[in-house]
Structure 1
Amino acid sequence: MRTNLVCDSYNSSYFLIDKKFQLASFSVHPMDKLSVFVSGNLALGQQIEELLTQRYRENFISRVENCFAGQCFSLEKKVALAEEGDVVFQVTFTPIFIQNEVQYVSCTVVSSNRIKRQLKLLNEYSHVASHELRAPISNILSLSGSIKNKKLEAYDVIRLSGLLSDINAQAEKLDEIIKLLNDLLHNNEHIVFFQPESVNPDSKHIVLLDDDKLTNRMHEMLLSGLDVEKCLVTFDEPKKAFDYVKAQNPDLLFLDLHMPEIDGWAFLGMMQEQGILVDVIIVSSSIDPLERSRARAFSFVKDFVTKPLTSEKLKLLFDKDKPAYFKNL
């Protein structure tokens, strides 16, 4: 077991200390203002007594010694910071057992300001989820239930089209709320857009990979409507798709990210390892900016398109006079 993964789960600053009282791993969050506890620069292998400020050194080391004896501690320290006033630090000492023996002690530190920010974010997230998200979901369920009603068999096409339009409007509202929730979680992160100027508009041999068969059918229908001469091959199993791409070397691959067994990231890694440089368009429901940035690390990934894929997005992708940035994709 990698003990640093255990400490990372705290989502706060942490120090991992070995039996020699040396720093085995650490992660310092800039918002935690730890200069009150730590002096100088941190480095792996350093004795912790060299890293601690004199005021807290004895108490800290004593807690670590007791932790190696199997005890846990959680305490609060109120500190006056000139720029922020009084700040309460929550400090937790936890023994980490490996094969029934304490091998490390983790010390996590988080400031009250971070806790307040996290609670505020959680409250905002909860409010949007409970007061905004439920409404369109309820409306969609109600509208879809109405369509199943046998009395609608006598409805004409115009009335049914109206109901479908209402469902679409509620789905768009739901999508906007989900984007709002995502923005709350990633409000400090910059979304990096692709510049897919090298996507070949004349690609004829195209592979579609998505574990959802309905999605594949919809994408196949959209691409067929764009150009009847395109050769489209669909897969819902990544292993079969990889074998096909490796053997046939198609012009373009539309790739979903979140799939069982072999996800999109593993698929891209396999392509990179084996030198398969087929152009890839990622088509994902994810709106996480970190995933968009991660995709840019693969040179053969030419764009990252958020679902649903539409004819308008496809026309932009295959437009010979495409703009430098596709910010609406």
Structure 2
Amino acid sequence: MKPTIHSVWVIGLTGGLALFVSPYLVRSLHWVSFQESAWQFIKLYGFISSLALIAISYTYKKINTRNRGLYGGMSHQIFNKLPNCVWVFSLDNQRLEMSNEAADSIYAVKDRSDPFRSFKSQFFNTRIGIKVLEGENCTFRNIVMIDKLYEPRYVDLFGIPFINRDKEKMVLVMVLDHSEVHRSLDKIRKLSESLQQQNQQLREYSFMNSHKIRSHLTNILGLIQVGEKEISGKALGMLREAAESLDSEIQNMNKLLMEKDLSTKKAEQKEQTIVFVDDDKVQHMINKRILLKVNDKLKLVFFENPYQALGWLEENTADVVLLDINMPEMDGWFFLKLMEEKGIEIDVKMLTSSLDPDDLQKSKSYKQVSGFLIKPLKDENIAEFLAN
């Protein structure tokens, strides 16, 4: 049977006291004779052992009492199984105290080296994360959070500050996710736009058939009827002109149909592996959506931590690395230096917010660097970059 917190504490306290008094008891009853040096050693050993045992049991009691208050019992089971994402942060210690299964599976804040700081970067608007962890009672509607796969999620967020039993300032953060509703509305909007485009094309086809094509066809039939047995030179010229106009309108209609087919047909795409090394989670989300829109066969690998990126590149291959210049753990230039030292030979393009001439000059000393891309990436730049 699993021991209770109090039983462990009582056993530890009793055992510590027993260790402390046992040398004196043995000496007073003359069960064993000690030399003075041995007696001093045993007395000191008993004192240290008793203190250690009492300290260990007391620490166990405090930790488990605290965890029991947070995680124990039915209340935690309910908390853990909530369908909404919930976090509890300690504002005094700037740490994540607990999170439920939904939050861990979708956002994985708990797995970060600094969950408190990482939580602030989960938002498309980083000021929201800062405000939430300032400990004010707050509500945000229809905001964008970025999940662990760097996908946007449309949520309502509630920040509820409170004081725990140890008088620490805490904040409970709950997120209500309505991304599926948003995606459904987005699909309906795109379908509506597609139907409007098709209706416009149908109106154009109808106008061509009822006005332009039919008018030329009517002229041709009329000229044929007027000519009866033989057609005069003037009538023949008019007939030829009407026939050429009819042919031109038919070609225009075919051109419209071909443009429609080309717009819906995807260009040939090739598989490539692209590695992003950038501490900005928002940039990962934006770049992922832009790249996959241009080529949905791309394999994209994202790293916020450059050391983790280096470890991955040592064991895996990629077609290109898109490397941010300014990162807190290390800058892009030191990353390139470590790539050279580790013998990682992969094409690198530097990501920058504004191209500094000094950066351009510095890049020439690294053979891996083949160019620069300005953030944020754009569709036309990505298409050209992938083609090359």
Q: TM-score range by the shorter chain?
A: 0.3 to 0.5
TM-score, normalised via structure 1 length: 0.35
Greater share of residues in strand: 1
**Which structure would you say has the larger RCO, counting Cα contacts within 8 Å and 6 or more residues apart?**
1
Pair member with larger Rg: 2
TM-score, normalised via structure 2 length: 0.30
Greater share of residues in helix: 2
